[in-house]
């Protein structure tokens, strides 16, 4: 039953194609009149549960964020990569770095090649595939600064939230210093600033510190792993339920978990109080303090909240997350153990991802609010079609959007209409904004006029 | 309002029948070998019952074909672990047919704890009739590399040669199993359960029917019904050394109704085989073939097992070979020999009440109706390909576990089924509208084994012997 139901899932694409083939065949054979078929289609073609379409307007928002993200990453010296949508499930289980709850939400199935039982997944995470790519083909480079814009797939039960999510991520592989973590935090904040977001909150936590505490609690490695997984799955209460044997630990726990710090002082206080009794906590606390000091010196605000986690066990050091109000719009952290766990060399790494889906609804790209000054609608007389095509191609070369009037309905939101005629005047240019009308004879004249009138010409959105 | 209930055959039948008799339902014909699938209650005229393979019941109830169902908790959890949002309500533990699912290893396999399994190098193979529960176990144990082999049955014979772990049912507290198997952990305790469709539960008045069951709980009497799965007599069988020589050829022979014709063929080929078919269910017969290990497994499971190199050769049916190849075209499996016996036709079947008489009209019908066409079959991949190739529009394959003819017309629209004479189909008011292909028994081999230097000689010689026997030379 297992294989079967999954296979039905994986055959959805084929089903859709079948439906289309069926419709095409029916048209060919004229078995049905068009009305029946369109009626049938309306019944049949649904969006898959838990998926979303991106409308032209949403794509404008999407590209706006993507371009800001790409631009910032390129300027910080990062290089763009893409990894396949399909990966082996084994890639994600073998590292032991996704929690069982996370793995339970992975889209895994047997593909046509799956006779060996080797399952494939729709990429559930952006970082692990990039780490695989690094091990596959870039390990000799040592330092690699990579970024990507990609979709990830996570099964969300109700289907109300989207199961295909877009993110822009950057991975800094081969650098272990606190400066590297700080670079990533600042890069992410720069992107968020570039897309015009205000009120971004930065929350910091440190896995080294959490792990250190769990170690001190005297739990067995299994219990530690279990509790750590639960914390990262968002169940913070699990820590409160543990009664540590040492009273100083109890205090340390409640001081660290219940309070939210806003300065390095918070960590220094903690260090003075506890690292004498709990020396294992000293290195992570020091690392955390160095990072926080750097951010503070650079003028960034943050909140220290150790209880923020998110289903990935691969983090080993700093974890940072970005919020606008309650909405999480991105996050990342240091994952020094991941690449060696995957069979690569002992290479440290850290990275982050920004979530495009919440960001799309938060940004206001200029293209959406300003009129499209550079759009020209060409109305060519039947005898002047050739001239119409000619001038359209000149206009496009000059950076305008030139489109033909095809149907009675005129495209909205454009400024210029250009009538192309077979007799003089050969061109009539109308400015819809100022209601001015120009009669001209040559292509060069049209271009000149557009340039002059379009003083407030903005770059194409 | 009509209330529909799905009732189990097999291991739960006797006790469920007793329970419902005590509840005064007055179902006639709910007994072993009754060949009756649709039952009426004399006490509740608005109640209709249908008998299913137990595995089908959670699915049938979840998709809303039935309001209520009775089946083992093991099959309910097998569905829910993978599809937690299934529309199922677990109504009541009925208190009988108690058992447990154990993750089991062979005492000869060198692993006896979860820790040792986790520490194993390379792939851990887990074979089970419960692939979803097995996968969940593997993920929770955080196994790094594992393969799940879904099986139709006979899991207990796989370790240690063909799987490291198997997930199988046993009695509660059972410490040893046939074939020197032992549990490393209990995965689930189960018993017979009453379940309801979520929507029916929320909207339908079923209290009278439910109350009748409530009042008449049978006295719990231990574990009689699991005798057949756990095996009353200890079967040890013959183990090959786990470090079996590389040139040992692993041959799979079918259980079930193909055993007698297979035995006839082996006899004709002068291959002596002991305890096959086995009266006590021994799945490890011995033979006079030198360097050949024989296990008896389900023919349905053979193509996947041979493709994976767990077996080098197997006697199965072309139907199951094709079902496998339609799903996994690049599978490294070769048909070595047509054995000519066990001839059946694989056919497309509709209810006689439907005016449609061929697949082209069925296509038209499917395009006109606003519901998906439900295609029931044991051969899910053959059924899927048939529906695809014939452009049956929006269809859904309903997997079944036998007695598929009972699905039409209320629980499926089209059936892909095998038939020898067509008589069973006629008796169920069904008609054949298309023949997909003819299937006979065949000898299949793993492509790598067939060309391997250590095994090819032996495989060739067995194939030749069987060829002469099959051709009657």
The answer to whether the CB of B11 falls within 8 A of the CB of B97 is yes
Query: Residue B219 carries which DSSP code?
Result: P
Show residues of chain A in contact with B83, CB under 8 Å. 5
Q: What is the pLDDT of residues A151-170, one digit of tens each?
A: 999 988 777 888 999 999 99
Min CA distance, A159 vs chain B (Å)?
A: 10
* Cα→Cα distances A165→A155, A314, A356, A359, B132, Å: 10, 20, 8, 12, 26
Same domain, A310 and A240: yes
Is residue A265 scored above 50 in pLDDT? yes
Whose structure tokens read 């609608």? A377
Lowest mean pLDDT of A101-110, A303-312, B347-356, B371-380, name the range: A303-312
The CATH number that applies at residue A71 is 3.30.930.10
Same domain, A285 and A354: no
- Does this model's pTM top 0.90? My answer is no
Confidence of residue A245 (pLDDT cuts 50, 70, 90): low
Same domain, A383 and A401: yes
Asked if the Cβ–Cβ distance from B85 to A157 is below 8 Å, we say yes
The answer to whether the CB of A183 falls within 8 A of the CB of A197 is no
Cis peptide before A310 (omega within 30 of 0): no
Q: Is residue A29 part of a domain?
A: yes
Q: Is residue A11 part of a domain?
A: yes
What percent of chain B is predicted at pLDDT more than 90? 71
Q: Are strands B47-52 and B3-8 parallel, antiparallel or unpaired?
A: parallel
> How many Å apart are CA B375 and CA B230, to the nearest integer?
34
The CATH number that applies at residue A437 is 3.40.50.800
Q: Is residue A293 part of a domain?
A: yes
Asked if the Cβ–Cβ distance from A11 to B384 is below 8 Å, we say yes
Lowest mean pLDDT of A6-20, A32-46, A358-372, B183-197, name the range: A6-20
Same domain, A205 and A182: no
CB pairs under 8 A between A and B: 107
The reported pLDDT for the residue numbered A217 is 75
Is residue A1 scored above 60 in pLDDT? no
Lowest mean pLDDT of A362-376, B96-110, B217-231, name the range: B217-231
What are the backbone dihedrals phi and psi of residue B459, each rounded to the nearest 5 degrees, phi first?
-65, -45
Confidence of residue A243 (pLDDT cuts 50, 70, 90): low
Show residues of chain B in contact with A158, CB under 8 Å. 85
Same domain, A187 and A70: yes
Same domain, A167 and A189: yes
The reported pLDDT for the residue numbered B329 is 92
Architecture label for domain B3-98+191-219:
3-Layer(aba) Sandwich (3.40)
Asked if the Cβ–Cβ distance from A1 to B139 is below 8 Å, we say no
Query: Residue A302 carries which DSSP code?
Result: -
Min CA distance, A23 vs chain B (Å)?
A: 9
Whose structure tokens read 């470090």? B243
User: Quick check: helix, strand or coil at residue A319?
Assistant: strand
Q: Is residue A442 part of a domain?
A: yes
Asked if the Cβ–Cβ distance from B364 to A3 is below 8 Å, we say no
Is residue A31 scored above 50 in pLDDT? no
Residues 6+ apart with CB under 8 A from A91: A128, A129, A132, A342
**What angle, 0 to 180 degrees and rounded to 10, lies between the N-to-C axes of helices A12-29 and A2-10?**
50
Show residues of chain B in contact with A18, CB under 8 Å. 388, 391-393
Confidence of residue A34 (pLDDT cuts 50, 70, 90): very low
Mean pLDDT score of chain A: 82
Looking at 3.40.50.620, 3.40.640.10, 3.90.25.10, 3.40.190.10, the CATH number of the domain B249-338+441-471 comes to 3.40.190.10
Mean pLDDT score of chain B: 90
Lowest mean pLDDT of A213-217, B237-241, B350-354, name the range: B237-241
Of A22, A26, A116, the CB nearest to B147: A116
Show residues of chain A in contact with B82, CB under 8 Å. 2, 5
Architecture label for domain B99-188:
3-Layer(aba) Sandwich (3.40)
The more confident residue out of B141 and A28 is B141
Min CA distance, A121 vs chain B (Å)?
A: 14
Same domain, A38 and A90: no
Query: What CATH number should be reported for the domain whose range is B344-439?
Result: 3.40.190.10
Same domain, A130 and A155: yes
Same domain, A377 and A260: no
> How many Å apart are CA A37 and CA A41, to the nearest integer?
6
Residues 6+ apart with CB under 8 A from B194: B68, B69, B70, B91, B92, B94, B210, B213
Q: Is residue A138 part of a domain?
A: yes
Domain stops at, among A335, A368, A401: A368
The answer to whether the CB of B442 falls within 8 A of the CB of B321 is yes
Asked if the Cβ–Cβ distance from B367 to A40 is below 8 Å, we say yes
Residue range A453-460: mean pLDDT, rounded: 51
Half-sphere exposure of B342 (CA within 13 A, CB side): 27
What percent of chain A is predicted at pLDDT more than 90? 49
Q: Where are the domains of chain B?
A: 3-98+191-219, 99-188, 249-338+441-471, 344-439
**What angle, 0 to 180 degrees and rounded to 10, lies between the N-to-C axes of helices A12-29 and A34-44?**
170
Min CA distance, A14 vs chain B (Å)?
A: 8
Cα-Cα-Cα-Cα torsion B150, B154, B157, B160, nearest 10 degrees, comes to 10
Q: What is the pLDDT of residues B213-245, one digit of tens each?
A: 865 455 444 444 443 444 444 566 555 555 567
Same domain, A79 and A191: yes
Q: What is the pLDDT of residues A422-455, one digit of tens each?
A: 998 999 999 888 889 999 999 999 999 988 876 5
The reported pLDDT for the residue numbered B447 is 96
Lowest mean pLDDT of A31-45, A423-437, B61-75, name the range: A31-45
Min CA distance, A153 vs chain B (Å)?
A: 17
Same domain, A315 and A215: yes
Is residue A8 scored above 60 in pLDDT? no
Which residues 116-135 of A have a C-beta within 8 angstroms of B? 116-118
Same domain, A31 and A91: no
Cα-Cα-Cα-Cα torsion B29, B33, B35, B41, nearest 10 degrees, comes to 20
Q: Is residue A6 part of a domain?
A: yes
Domain with A430, as residue range(s), is: 370-453
Question: Is B3-98+191-219's fold the same as B99-188's?
Answer: yes
Confidence of residue A41 (pLDDT cuts 50, 70, 90): very low
The more confident residue out of A408 and B451 is B451
Residue range A244-269: mean pLDDT, rounded: 73
Q: How many domains does chain A have?
A: 4
Whose structure tokens read 């050829």? B249
Lowest mean pLDDT of A109-123, B235-249, B278-292, name the range: B235-249
Sheet holding B99-106, edge to edge: B146-150, B124-128, B165-170, B99-106, B181-190
What percent of chain B is predicted at pLDDT more than 70? 93
The answer to whether the CB of A129 falls within 8 A of the CB of A110 is no
């Amino acid at each position: 039953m297992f294989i079967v139901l999954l296979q039905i899932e994986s055959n959805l694409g084929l089903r859709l194609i079948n439906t289309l083939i069926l419709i095409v065949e029916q048209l060919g054979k004229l078995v049905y009149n068009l009305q029946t078929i369109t009626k049938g289609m309306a019944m049949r073609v649904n969006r898959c549960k838990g998926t979303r379409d991106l409308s032209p307007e949403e794509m404008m928002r999407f590209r706006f964020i993507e371009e800001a993200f790409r631009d910032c990453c390129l300027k910080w010296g990062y290089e763009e990569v893409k990894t396949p949508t399909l990966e082996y499930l084994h890639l994600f289980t073998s590292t032991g770095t996704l929690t069982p709850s996370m793995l339970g939400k992975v889209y895994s199935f047997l593909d046509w090649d799956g006779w060996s039982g080797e399952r494939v997944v729709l990429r559930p995470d952006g970082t692990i595939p990039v780490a695989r790519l690094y091990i596959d083909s870039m390990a000799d480079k040592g330092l690699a600064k990579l970024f990507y814009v990609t979709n990830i797939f996570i099964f969300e039960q109700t289907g109300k939230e989207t199961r295909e999510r877009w993110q822009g991520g950057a991975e800094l592989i081969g650098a272990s210093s606190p400066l590297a973590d700080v670079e990533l935090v600042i890069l992410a904040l720069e992107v968020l600033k570039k897309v015009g977001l205000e009120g971004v909150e930065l929350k910091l936590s440190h896995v080294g510190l959490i792990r250190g505490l769990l170690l001190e609690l005297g739990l067995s490695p299994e219990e530690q792993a279990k509790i750590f997984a639960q914390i990262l799955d968002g169940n913070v209460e699990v820590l409160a339920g543990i009664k540590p044997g040492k009273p100083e630990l109890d205090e340390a726990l409640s001081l660290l978990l219940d309070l939210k710090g806003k300065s390095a002082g918070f960590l220094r206080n903690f260090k003075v109080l506890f690292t004498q009794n709990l020396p294992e906590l000293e290195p992570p606390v020091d690392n955390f303090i160095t990072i926080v000091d750097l951010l503070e010196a650079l003028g960034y605000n943050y909140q220290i909240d150790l209880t923020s986690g998110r289903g990935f066990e691969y983090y080993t050091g700093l974890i940072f997350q970005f919020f606008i109000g309650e909405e999480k719009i991105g996050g990342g952290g240091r994952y020094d153990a991941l690449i060696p766990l995957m069979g690569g060399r002992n290479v440290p790494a850290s990275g982050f991802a920004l979530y495009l889906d919440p960001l799309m609804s938060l940004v206001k790209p200029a293209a959406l609010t300003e009129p499209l000054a550079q759009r020209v609608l060409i109305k060519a007389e039947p005898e002047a079609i050739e001239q119409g095509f000619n001038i359209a191609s000149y206009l496009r070369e000059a950076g305008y959007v030139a489109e033909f009037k095809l149907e009675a309905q005129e495209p909205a939101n454009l400024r210029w209409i250009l009538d192309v005629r077979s007799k003089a005047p050969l061109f009539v240019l109308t400015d819809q904004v100022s209601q001015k009308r120009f009669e001209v004879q040559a292509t060069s004249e049209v271009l000149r006029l557009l340039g002059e009138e379009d003083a407030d010409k903005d770059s194409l959105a | 309002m009509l209330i529909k209930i799905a009732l189990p055959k097999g291991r739960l039948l006797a006790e469920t029948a007793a329970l419902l008799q005590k509840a005064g339902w007055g179902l006639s014909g709910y007994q072993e070998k009754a060949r009756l699938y649709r039952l009426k209650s004399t006490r509740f005229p608005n109640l209709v019952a249908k008998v299913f393979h137990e595995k089908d019941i959670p699915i049938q109830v979840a998709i809303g074909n039935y309001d209520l169902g009775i089946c083992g908790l093991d099959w309910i959890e097998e569905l829910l672990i993978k599809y937690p949002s299934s529309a199922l309500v677990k109504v009541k533990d009925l208190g009988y047919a108690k058992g447990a699912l154990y993750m089991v290893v062979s005492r000869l396999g060198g692993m006896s704890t979860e820790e040792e399994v986790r520490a194993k190098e390379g792939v851990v193979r887990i074979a089970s009739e419960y692939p979803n529960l097995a996968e969940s176990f593997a993920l929770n144990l955080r196994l790094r590399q594992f393969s799940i082999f879904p099986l139709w049955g006979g899991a207990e014979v796989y370790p240690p040669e063909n799987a490291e772990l198997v997930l199988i049912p046993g009695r509660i507290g059972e410490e040893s199993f046939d074939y020197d198997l032992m549990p490393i952990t209990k995965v689930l305790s189960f018993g017979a359960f009453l379940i309801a469709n979520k929507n029916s539960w929320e909207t339908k008045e079923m209290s009278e029917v439910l109350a009748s069951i409530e009042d008449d709980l049978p006295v719990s009497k231990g574990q009689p019904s699991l005798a057949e799965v756990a095996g009353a007599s200890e079967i040890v069988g013959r183990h090959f050394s786990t470090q079996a020589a590389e040139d040992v050829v692993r041959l799979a022979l079918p259980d079930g109704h193909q055993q007698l014709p297979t035995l006839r063929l082996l006899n004709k080929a002068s291959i002596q085989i002991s305890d096959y078919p086995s009266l006590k269910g021994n799945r490890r017969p011995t033979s006079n073939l030198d360097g050949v290990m024989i296990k008896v497994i389900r023919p349905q499971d053979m193509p996947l097992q041979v493709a994976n190199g767990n077996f080098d050769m197997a006697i199965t049916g072309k139907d199951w070979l094709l079902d496998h190849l339609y799903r996994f075209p690049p599978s490294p499996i070769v048909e070595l020999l047509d054995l000519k016996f066990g001839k059946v036709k694989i056919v497309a079947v509709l209810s006689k009440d439907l005016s449609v008489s061929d697949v082209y009209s069925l296509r038209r019908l499917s395009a006109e109706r606003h519901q998906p066409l439900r295609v029931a079959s044991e051969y899910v991949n053959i059924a899927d390909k048939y529906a695809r190739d014939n452009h049956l529009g929006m269809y859904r394959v309903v997997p079944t576990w036998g007695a598929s003819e009972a699905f039409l017309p209320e629980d499926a629209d089209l059936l892909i089924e095998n038939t020898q004479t067509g008589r069973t189909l006629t008796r169920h008011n069904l008609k054949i509208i298309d023949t997909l292909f003819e299937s006979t028994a065949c000898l299949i081999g793993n492509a790598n084994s067939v060309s391997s230097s250590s095994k090819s000689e032996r495989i060739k010689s067995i194939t030749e012997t069987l060829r002469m026997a099959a051709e009657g030379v």
